[in-house]
Structure 1
Amino acid sequence: MISPSGNFKLYLASKPVDFRKGMDGLAAIVMNEFELDPFNGAIFIFRSKRADRMKIIVWDGTGALLRNSF
């Protein structure tokens, strides 16, 4: 379970992403397309092309977490 503490930022990608991408691929999108640091503790949410699935990545200070939601 991801439970953010205190102040956190939430970013929702409006364009769908290729759902074959893993944590590294999504972190690369955050860095290259959004020009943000994926390791700053913010929560990044991506949607599938059909908009029926989500992938969430977050850095918890010790490692990155990837959560698939169906």
Structure 2
Amino acid sequence: MSQFFFNQRASLVNDVIEGTIIASPWNNLARLESDPAIRVVVRRDLNKNNVAVISGGAPAMNRRTSALLVKAC
């Protein structure tokens, strides 16, 4: 049987997003405050003269999507 380390299954995705924001080496990510079911991470230092990249993924892809967004930022 596999062992996993997380607080609660219901808050796992939100915890991963918060951890990604906190662990970002550039300290430029923030979570868009809205409905808790809507999970949006934005750059605080967005240059409006550049093209914004919007990425999303299925629930099974959240860890990979978060990692890609951190690398892109």
TM-score, normalising length from structure 2?
Answer: 0.28
Larger radius of gyration: 2
Report which of the two has the higher share of helix: 2
Greater strand share, structure number: 1
